[in-house]
Amino acid sequence: MNNYLITIIGATAIGKTALSIKLAQYFNTEIISSDSRQFYKEMKIGTAVPTIKELTSVKHHFIQNRSIFDNYSVGQFEKDALKKLQNLFLKNNIVVMVGGSGLYTQAVIDGLDYFPEINPEIRLKLIKQLENGELNLLQNKLKELDIESYNIIEIENPHRLIRALEICIGTGKPYSSFKNKSKEKRNFIPIKIGLEADRELIYSRIDKRVDLMLQEGLLEEAKELYKYKNLNALQTVGYRELFNYFDGNFTLEFAIDEIKKNTRRFAKRQLTWNKKDTTIHWFNFEENTSEILKQIEEIIL
């Protein structure tokens, strides 16, 4: 019997969590999260972690299972997720995966790309530029060296930006040229279900989600984490902007506007990333779950 990994894909705030739970309940299976922001137990509100009700309705894995003080890479997640899948497939030949982090999702389904070793001095120089407030300069440098990566990766995330740049500079080749090579074969068949909506509607849902996060205590959560603001896990939308507010660089109103703007930018990059994948079965985000199940069952049967 074949194993199947049903993966829910789509922009942030489009309803992936709700659909993943419905599908997991239907197939009596469990959910793996590939959302790199939801790994960390200290970051609950700002990462839109599923509610207690949602988490208890179906068993989830890789949600708030790490600390912001842990060094946790996409490579380690790939190994952990594959090990977990191996155990889950012993109980059920169908497992659901959901998350907004395209790289982490791709790592599980296709495997990671190989990158050559780079002179560490290059990274140190890039980090120094970042510390000197030259984020925009670094972003423009990536745009010049590798427009494809510039359009896809989260360039507001310093870790992702520096990683792409050090490969470009250290090899003289675009970061994107090392991606999508042949990988080790998986022991499951991926079924990718994409949720889509009009872009303006997605942006509206993002704005409402940010407002809800603030009502639920995002400002207080960020204040608790402020002393750890330089940790890699906290270099993410929703926290960086509030840290700037605490530093006196932003007004609160401007920080909130920046969270919404940067989340919309993130969603735009998700859309760009996902549209390149021709194996995704797309549905309107309001599509009846029965229609999605019909498509899945046609593939399985």
More confident residue, 159 or 81: 81
User: What percent of the chain clears pLDDT 70, i.e. is strictly above it?
Assistant: 98
Query: Which of the two residues, 301 and 300, has the higher pLDDT score?
Result: 300
Task: Please state the rounded mean pLDDT for residues 80-97.
Answer: 97
Assess whether pLDDT exceeds 90 at residue 169: yes
Annotated binding site for substrate: 12-17
DSSP sequence for 148-181: HHHHHS-TTSHHHHHHHHHHHHHHSS-GGGGSS-
Residue list for the binding site: 10-17
End-to-end CA distance of the chain: 11
Confidence at residue 276, expressed as pLDDT on a 0 to 100 scale: 85
* pLDDT at site 9: 96
Annotated binding site for ATP: 10-17
pLDDT digits (tens, 9 = 90+) for 204-260: 999 999 999 999 999 999 999 999 999 989 999 999 999 999 999 999 999 999 999
Least confident of 7-21, 109-123, 200-214: 109-123
Q: For domain 120-178, which architecture applies?
A: Orthogonal Bundle (1.10)
Q: Please write the tens of the pLDDT for every residue from 119-162.
A: 989 999 999 998 898 999 999 999 999 999 999 888 888 888 99
* Whether the predicted pLDDT of 180 surpasses 70: no
> pLDDT confidence of 301, banded at 50, 70, 90?
confident
In this predicted structure, what is the pLDDT of residue 124? 92
pLDDT score at 159: 82
Residue 198 CA neighbour count, 13 Å, CB half: 3
Count CB-CB contacts under 10 A for residue 217.
Answer: 14
Domain boundaries, the chain: 4-112+183-300, 120-178
Mean per-residue pLDDT for 93-113?
92
Q: Can you give the three-state secondary structure of 23-86, one letter per residue?
A: HHHHCCCCEEECCCCCCECCCCCCCCCCCHHHHHHCCEECCCCECCCCCCCHHHHHHHHHHHHH
Residue 111 dihedral angles phi and psi, to the nearest 5°: 95, 165
pLDDT at 181 over 70: no
- Report the alpha-carbon distance of residue 238 to residue 107 in Å, rounded: 25
CA 139 – CA 143 distance, rounded (Å): 6
Answer whether CATH 3.40.50.300 is correct for domain 4-112+183-300.
Answer: yes
Q: What pTM does this model have?
A: 0.82
